[in-house]
Amino acid sequence: MLSAAVFDQEGNEKDTLALKEELFGQTPHLPTIHQYVKAYQANQRQGTVKRKTRMEVRGGGAKPWRQKGTGRARAGSNTSPLWMGGGRAFPPRPGDHHVDIPRKMKRKALISALSSVAVESRVKIIEEVSLDAPKTKVMAELFDRMGVGGSRVLFLSEGKDDSLHRSVRNLRNLVHKRACLVNPYDLLTCDFLVMTRKALDALTEVFAA
């Protein structure tokens, strides 16, 4: 059975915790992960890029020079794509790149991503994090003692905690999210998954039921 090391708030390893088989012990399904990542990246595109055609750039009107007798190539308008400052021949236009991701595909991709992280022993649990005020240095030292300092870390907490979020938001290579908002792409791009005990319980309750 897969397990994860449990740390206290000082960064000392206290125990190990068995991970739910339904959530962390499945065989990763790579085609589903691939489809999810393609759809996720497509949905990040704003679709607002635009360039002007020869009809939209300012200019045109009079013919630059007469058709014959100048020794130069024929030219009918200074808005031609061949001219500096002219329009684009086949410019990009605004468009919607959204791709719908079925709920079952999201769930399967998430379980596959969690399982791939767990099987490589990259899951770490913090028993509890209690901060009276934002303290970035305290959290940085905690991650260093856990052996994940300097790595790409996905840190999951159970709910909204302003002091905790403000304590970790400036840490380099760290992404902080609520457990219920985690997605497979975040898991695939991190070196370690670190979460609080309550975040693990919430994750198990929502996705392993």
Share of the chain above pLDDT 70, in %: 100
3 state DSSP class of 80 = coil
Query: What gap in Å lies between CA 8 and CA 124, rounded to an integer?
Result: 11
Q: Residues in the chain with pLDDT < 70?
A: 209
Q: Are 115 and 28 in contact (CB under 8 A)?
A: yes
Return the domain boundaries, the chain: 3-45+98-207, 46-96
3-45+98-207 has which CATH code? Answer: 3.40.1370.10
DSSP per-residue letters across 104-136: HHHHHHHHHHHHHHHHTT-EEEES----SS--H
- Rounded distance between C-alpha atoms, residue 38 and residue 106, angstroms: 12
Which residue spans within 142-204 are E strands per DSSP?
153-157, 174-178, 192-196
Distance in angstroms (rounded) separating the CA atoms of residues 1 and 19: 8
Average pLDDT value over all residues in the chain? 93
Rg of the chain taking only CA atoms, in angstroms: 27
Q: What's the pLDDT tens digit per position in 34-47?
A: 999 999 999 999 99
The pTM of this model reads 0.83
- Condensed to tens digits (0 to 9), the pLDDT of residues 141-161 reads 999 999 998 899 999 998 888
Amino acid symbol at 130: S
∠ CA(159), CA(161), CA(163), 5° rounding?
165
The residue ranges of DSSP E strands in the chain, in sequence order, are 3-7, 13-18, 123-126, 153-157, 174-178, 192-196
